[in-house]
Structure 1
Amino acid sequence: MKQEFFELSIETPGKSLTDISGVVQRTVSEHGFGSGLLTLWCVHTGAALLVQANADPEVVKDIETFFEELVPKSPGKYHHRPSEDDNAPSHLRALLTQTQVSIPVEQGQLPLGRVQSLYLFEHREAPKTRRLKVHYIGT
């Protein structure tokens, strides 16, 4: 049994869902992971991780529209504004999603479903470099 900890950096273009399945799969392959459990932790309060459908690009648009309507950027609506206007809405959106995801690794592969991808969901408007802490335990 082996255990590894390391970090990935992901560039986002600003508010978006960035498919990181390929980056994570390459990392699994480069590290020679066999079978085990991979946990990714997003070290930010303005971004999140999720597994979602990828078969139709409209799914991503629907998710983005849903969050825009649920937690709009609305100056004066929110109480905390330590930096930019999108600070409070980004924190609230992250609250509704998740900062970590665990995915099994089977024979060196992420067993995502046929129409699934792993996404980094950026809630801030400006481009960001997001850090993901990665933990693997397995063979």
Structure 2
Amino acid sequence: MWVQRTFQLPARSRGFHLVTRTIVDAMPEIDQVQTGMMQVFIQHTSASLTINENADPDVRVDFETAMNHAVPEDLPYVHTLEGPDDMPAHVKASMMGASLMVPIGSGKLMLGTWQGIYLCEHRDHGGARRVVVTINGE
């Protein structure tokens, strides 16, 4: 089985947002897969995806703090046409990545107990974000 769907995640504030449920709800075919893989790809260069802890909301705050420390906005960037948060957003997106692979088993994502899929919004006003989700399995 192959299923591919492109859809938008609603606009979010800058930060790290759990989107596991949104993705699973958009891909009901997961239930039919006994063994397979799901790829999630974000079609943007100033937002990214990652998998990390899904329980304690402090993790999301700490992620934003750490990324802002690692990639500050006040560096002398050359690409500044789209505002001071744009180039740092590109750097953060490259560091974190545009794509995830998650195994599927017995009709469920095989995420660990405390794992969730995050949309990492690196812009102050990034807008809705398009993702392509592809499922392959049997």
Compute the displacement of 1:55 (Å). 2.3
Cross-structure match for 2:131: 132
Cross-structure match for 1:14: 13
- The alignment's TM-score, normalised by the length of structure 2, stands at 0.91
Cross-structure match for 2:43: 43
Structure 2 distance, partners of 1:114, 1:31, is 18
Cross-structure match for 1:71: 71
- Structure 1 residues 27 and 41: CA distance shift in structure 2, 3 A: same
Q: What CA RMSD, in Å, does the superposition of the two structures yield over aligned residues? A: 1.6
Q: Runs in 1 of length 4+ with deviation above 3 angstroms?
A: 30-33
Compute the displacement of 1:72 (Å). 1.4
**Contact 2:20-2:116 within 8 A present in 1 as well:** yes
Structure 2 distance, partners of 1:12, 1:105, is 27
Structure 2 distance, partners of 1:88, 1:49, is 17
- The alignment's TM-score, normalised by the length of structure 1, stands at 0.90
Cross-structure match for 1:119: 118
Structure 2 distance, partners of 1:61, 1:134, is 26
Identity %: 27
Aligned pair count reads: 137
Structure 2 distance, partners of 1:82, 1:3, is 40
Compute the displacement of 1:68 (Å). 0.9
- Structure 1 residues 77 and 33: CA distance shift in structure 2, 3 A: farther
The answer for unaligned runs of 5 or more in structure 2 is: none
Structure 2 distance, partners of 1:121, 1:104, is 21
- Does residue 4 in structure 1 map to residue 35 in structure 2? no
The answer for unaligned runs of 5 or more in structure 1 is: none
Task: Tell me which moved more, 110-119 or 5-14.
Answer: 5-14
**Contact 2:31-2:106 within 8 A present in 1 as well:** no
Structure 2 distance, partners of 1:115, 1:54, is 5
